[in-house]
Amino acid sequence: MIFGRFQWQSLAAHLLLGGFVFAIAGLPLSAQAEHDGELQILLLGDSTTEGSVPRRLKPEGPHLEQVLEHLLAAEDDLPACQVINSSQGGETIRRLLDSGRYERNGAELPGLDYIFIRYGINDRAKIENFVENFPKHFAELCERLRKDHPSAELIPMTVIPFSSEAASEEINNLIRQAAAERHLEVFDIYPRYAQELSKGPNMLNYRRYALDKIPAKYRELVQPFVHGAKVEVMGNELDAILGGLPGWYSDRHPNLAGYNVIADATAKYLAKRLREKQTERASTTQSSPVELSPTK
């Protein structure tokens, strides 16, 4: 696949193409693998990375990849970054590989520097023998990424608090195990997201509720929020009226506030890594012997 440069204004609603979300911003500077002079960051994941409902409710965003770009750009000492969000709701690692989506949309992306991998929620729900097979699928994905993007640094992520605490712990322990076997450092986003949830358990998730379960007397009220057969609300606008309905808060997918937590945590993690690399390069340059020209 060949990707040209686009002006930011032309990305008003970010392109959704085959599960890809493209976000391009920043000024050219040096990069490890380098494409268009910017660090290339790829986000691979499921619906908790994709954010399809927030994109539908507020297409202008800013969405996860845009916010991540802005936060990194705000750090004056960091190189310019381009973030590509390749995620799809309901996806497992197995489906990513077997459906051909990775082959179509990810295998030939140019110049990737960092690849964040966040799977596990759907894998646990959908694949057989999850405990045994998930690490194998993770290893297979890493092998493909290593083959197709040898200059990229792979960064596995833990899942966010979505399922029960016990289910999340099982998933995250397997991610740590699989990452350790591949000698990869895990970016543990779970604690930060859980900390933010402690400020309000429903602050970071949107509300999605079946329209036919809304009492008839409120049907006219919810019309502005109806999408298909669902009522979708980004935040707490209707909580005072409908919050007592059974299951009103049951959908735990992030709203824009939730994605901002993910973006902020990711920006802080990546900024630290980038500065460490800058320090390492500076140290290597200073310690390298300088070849002097012979005197006449």
Q: What is the pLDDT of residues 117-149, one digit of tens each?
A: 999 999 999 999 999 999 999 999 999 999 999
Q: Is the pLDDT of residue 206 over 80?
A: yes
Interior angle at CA 262, CA 260 and CA 268, nearest 5: 100
Q: Is the pLDDT of residue 286 over 90?
A: no
Q: Is the pLDDT of residue 251 over 50?
A: yes
Q: 278 to each of 36, 78, 209, 271, 283, how far by Cα in Å?
A: 20, 9, 48, 10, 9
Identify the three-state secondary structure at position 155. strand
**Rounded average pLDDT over 258-276:** 97
Q: How confident is the model at residue 69 (pLDDT cuts 50, 70, 90)?
A: very high
Q: Are 137 and 54 in contact (CB under 8 A)?
A: no
**Rounded average pLDDT over 97-107:** 94
Q: How confident is the model at residue 292 (pLDDT cuts 50, 70, 90)?
A: low
Integer-rounded Cα radius of gyration of the chain: 21
CA–CA dist 159, 184 (Å, integer): 16
Give the number of other Cβ atoms within 10 Å of residue 244's Cβ.
8
Q: How confident is the model at residue 278 (pLDDT cuts 50, 70, 90)?
A: confident
CA–CA dist 103, 167 (Å, integer): 30
Choose among 77, 66, 84, 71: nearest CA to 1: 84
At 172, list the tokens.
């995250």
Q: What is the pTM of this model?
A: 0.85
CA–CA dist 231, 223 (Å, integer): 8
**Rounded average pLDDT over 85-109:** 95
Q: Give φ, ψ of 54 to 5 degrees.
A: -55, -35
Pick the more confident residue, 21 or 93.
93
pLDDT of residue 12: 33
Q: Are 19 and 88 in contact (CB under 8 A)?
A: yes
Q: Is the pLDDT of residue 279 over 60?
A: yes
At 175, list the tokens.
């991610």
Domains of the chain as residue ranges with CATH? 11-201+254-274 (3.40.50.1110), 207-250 (no CATH)
CA–CA dist 103, 113 (Å, integer): 18
